[in-house]
Amino acid sequence: MKKLINGVDQIVSEMVEGLVAAHPDKLRAIENTNVIVRADAPVQGKVALISGGGSGHEPAHAGYVGEGLLDAAVSGEVFTSPTPDQVLEAIKAVDSGSGVLLIVKNYSGDVMNFDMAADLAEAEDITVKQVVIRDDVAISNPEDRRGVAGTTLVHMIAGAAAAEGKSLDEVETIAQGVADNVRSMGVSLSPCTVPASGKPGFTLDENEMEIGTGIHGEQGVERRELMQADAVTEELVQHVLDDMHLNDGSEVALMINGQGATPLMELYIVARKAMHLLKDRGIHVKKTFVGEYMTSLEMTGCSVTILNLDEERKRLLLSGRE
Amino acid sequence: MELSAAVMKQWALRINAKMQEHKDKLSELDQAIGDGDHGHNMARGFQEVANKVEDASYDDIGAMYKDVASTLISKVGGASGPLYGTAFLKAANAWKGRDVLDSAVFTEGIEAAVGGIETRGKASLGDKTMLDVWIPVRDEMKEHGADAEKAAKTAEKEAEATIDRVAKKGRASYLGERSKGHMDPGAFSSQLVFEALAEVYKEGAS
C-alpha cells in the first residue's frame, strides 16, 4: 500500500483537521466527532441539511458543507458509516429549531446509524426527517440499490430549497423528488485500497473492467473485457435510461463523475458521448457536471448520473450552488 | 450451565482477544465480498469494550453488558457497530439485575439479542449474515438449554455453511451470485463470539 498518510487510525481526523484549517471562514469542526459544520451554524430560520457516511468519497460529503448546500457532514472511518453519537452531535449543532433533514445513502450501516441518531434526536425534541438515496441501477431490486453520485444532486437541490426558507416538509418533498428521479451506473478500470485492509479490493487484468461497481472498492456486478470509451458510455447511459421514464423533450441534468483517479480528459470523452446519446433521443441536457463529486479513494473509472428535471428541480439546480 | 459475573466479564475480554487474533482473517473474508475492513472495525470496537470493562465494576451483568453495547454503538460505526451493539443491548435488558445467569436467563438474553439483530438489520435466516449463526445457536439453546461448548460448535458449523449461500443483505448482496464461495465475515465474527464463550465457560468451571 502506497499512500500519503501518517497512520491508518488518524486518517479521518487529520483530513477533517486539514479541511477546517484550510477553510476557516466557511467551516468548523466539532471536536472529537469528525463532524464538519458551516462556520455560521446554526442558521436561524433555515431547515438544516446533514449528510455523511464513510470517508473516502471526497469531496462527498464535507466538501458540500456551505451556504446553499449542507449544514453539516458526518465522516465515519474510511468506507464505514459514522456512529449515531456523531450524527447526533451534528444534528444538535445545526438545528435552529426549523428541523433537520438527513440525506442518507442506502447502505445497511448508514441507514441503521442515521436511524438510531434520528431516534436520539427526537428524544431531545428535535424534528428530524430522512431521505434515503438509492440511485444505482446496477442493482436490480430498487429497494436494495446503493446511494452513489446522484446523492450530490440531492445536496444541491435540497440545499437551494432550504436556502430559500422552505419548510422541513417542503424540503423533504423536494429531496425525495430528486431521489425518486435520479439514476446512476458506474464502471471501474482499476480498484482502490482501503487503508485498513492494505490491499486492493479486487484485481483486474490490463484488458478487464468491472461494470456496475459501487463506491466502496467492492467488485461490480459483472467483469468484462475492456471496451472503448464510447461503447462503455453507451452501455452505462442505456442502463440508466432503461430505468427512467424519459420522453422526447424531457429535460435532465447529467453528471459524469470520476471515481478518484480518472483524468478529467477521459471524463470529458465520456461526457461528449453521453451528450450525443441523449441528444439523439431528444432529451435536453439543462446542466452538465463533469468532475469528481463522489469518489472511491483512488479507483479509476466513472459513473453516469441522469436526473429527470421538473420545473422546480430545474429552477433550484440552476440557481443553486454546486 | 451457570455464568457468574466474573465469567461474563471474561467473555467480553475474550471476544476482544479473538477479534485481535483473527483481525486479518476477518478482513480477508470481507475483502472477498465486502470492503475489507470488518477485522479492523471489530478489533477497534472490542478493544474499546475491553478498555471500558476491564477495570470497571458493575452492579450486575445487565449493567456490564449495557456498557459493552453502548461502547460498540458509539465507537464502531458501519453495520457491525449497530448490529453487535443492539444485540448486546437487548441481551443486557434480559440480564438486568442478575449477578449470575442460569441457562434459562442466558438463553433469554441470546433470544433478545437475535430479535434485536433482526429488527435492526432486517435480515432473515439464510441471507448470509451474522444471523445465520445467531439463529441456530438460539434455537439450540431454546430446545436443549444453554451449553457454551455446543453453541461454539454450532456457530462454527453454521458459519461454514454461509460459504455456499448467496448474500441477500449488506454489501455482499451487491455481488449477487458472485458472493457464493466465500464465508460471510459477520458469520465468522459471530463464531468467534461463541468460541470465546465456550473458552471462558470452560476455564471458569474448572
Which domains are seen in chain B, by residue range?
2-205 (1.25.40.340)
Residue after which a domain boundary falls, among A133, A153, A168: A133
CB-based contact, B120 to chain A, within 8 Å: yes
pLDDT of residue B175: 87
Task: Note whether A127 and A187 are same-domain residues.
Answer: no
Residue after which a domain boundary falls, among A117, A133, A149: A133
Contact B35 A113 (CB under 8 A): no
**Could you tell me if residue A146 is inside a domain?**
no
pLDDT of residue B21: 98
CB-based contact, A215 to chain B, within 8 Å: no
**Could you tell me if residue A90 is inside a domain?**
yes
- Which of B27, B77, B178 comes nearest A77 by C-beta? B77
Task: Note whether A212 and A287 are same-domain residues.
Answer: yes
**Could you tell me if residue A211 is inside a domain?**
yes
Task: Note whether A113 and A189 are same-domain residues.
Answer: no
Q: Burial level of B41, CB count in 10 A (0-12/13-18/19+)?
A: buried
Residue A321 above 70 pLDDT? yes
List the CATH number of the domain containing A123: 3.40.50.10440
pLDDT of residue A217: 80
CB-based contact, A235 to chain B, within 8 Å: no
Percent of chain A with pLDDT over 90: 92
pLDDT of residue B38: 92
pLDDT of residue A285: 98
Contact A108 B121 (CB under 8 A): yes
Task: Note whether A117 and A202 are same-domain residues.
Answer: no
CB-based contact, A217 to chain B, within 8 Å: yes
Residue A229 above 80 pLDDT? yes
The span from the CA of B185 to the CA of B180, in Å, is 13
CB-based contact, A76 to chain B, within 8 Å: yes
Rounded to the nearest 10 degrees, the angle between the axes of helix B103-121 and helix B80-94 is 150
B143-160 confidence digits (pLDDT tens): 999 999 999 999 999 999
CB-based contact, A38 to chain B, within 8 Å: no
> What's this model's pTM, rounded to 2 decimal places?
0.91
Domain that holds residue A54: 8-133
Task: Note whether A234 and A106 are same-domain residues.
Answer: no
pLDDT of residue B37: 85
Give ipTM to 2 decimals: 0.84
- Which of B31, B36, B77 comes nearest A109 by C-beta? B77
Mean pLDDT, chain A, rounded, equals 96
A51-107 confidence digits (pLDDT tens): 999 999 999 999 999 999 999 999 999 999 999 999 999 999 999 999 999 999 999
Task: Note whether A26 and A127 are same-domain residues.
Answer: yes
**Could you tell me if residue A144 is inside a domain?**
no
Task: Note whether A213 and A110 are same-domain residues.
Answer: no
pLDDT of residue A216: 87
**Could you tell me if residue A164 is inside a domain?**
no
Residue after which a domain boundary falls, among A133, A165, A199: A133
The question of whether A23 is a catalytic residue gets the answer no
pLDDT of residue A222: 87
pLDDT of residue A97: 97
- Minimal Cα–Cα distance from A139 to chain B, Å? 7
Task: Note whether A215 and A285 are same-domain residues.
Answer: yes
List the CATH number of the domain containing A235: 3.30.1180.20
Sites in chain B below the pLDDT cut of 70: 205-206
Closest CA in chain B for residue A109: B79
Task: Note whether A219 and A307 are same-domain residues.
Answer: yes
pLDDT of residue B149: 97
Task: Note whether A29 and A93 are same-domain residues.
Answer: yes
pLDDT of residue A203: 87
pLDDT of residue B206: 59
Q: Catalytic one among A23, A61, A216, A245?
A: A216
Q: Which of residues 55-94 of B touch A (CB under 8 A)?
A: 73-83
**Could you tell me if residue A22 is inside a domain?**
yes
- Minimal Cα–Cα distance from A116 to chain B, Å? 8
Contact B79 A81 (CB under 8 A): yes
Radius of gyration of chain A (CA): 19
The question of whether A276 is a catalytic residue gets the answer no
Cα B157 to chain center, whole Å? 15
Number of domains in chain A: 2
- Which of B33, B73, B78 comes nearest A109 by C-beta? B78
pLDDT of residue B36: 83
CB-based contact, B152 to chain A, within 8 Å: no
Task: Check residue A53 and report its DSSP letter.
Answer: E
**Could you tell me if residue A262 is inside a domain?**
yes
A282-311 confidence digits (pLDDT tens): 999 999 999 999 999 999 999 999 999 999
Cell of A198: 492494505
B58-97 confidence digits (pLDDT tens): 999 999 999 999 999 999 999 999 999 999 999 999 999 9
**Could you tell me if residue A18 is inside a domain?**
yes
Q: Indicate left, alpha or beta for A125 from its phi (over 0: left) and psi (-120 to 50: alpha).
A: left
Task: Note whether A188 and A314 are same-domain residues.
Answer: yes
Q: In chain B, which residues have their Cβ closer than 8 Å to the Cβ of A116? A: 73, 82
The span from the CA of B206 to the CA of B200, in Å, is 10
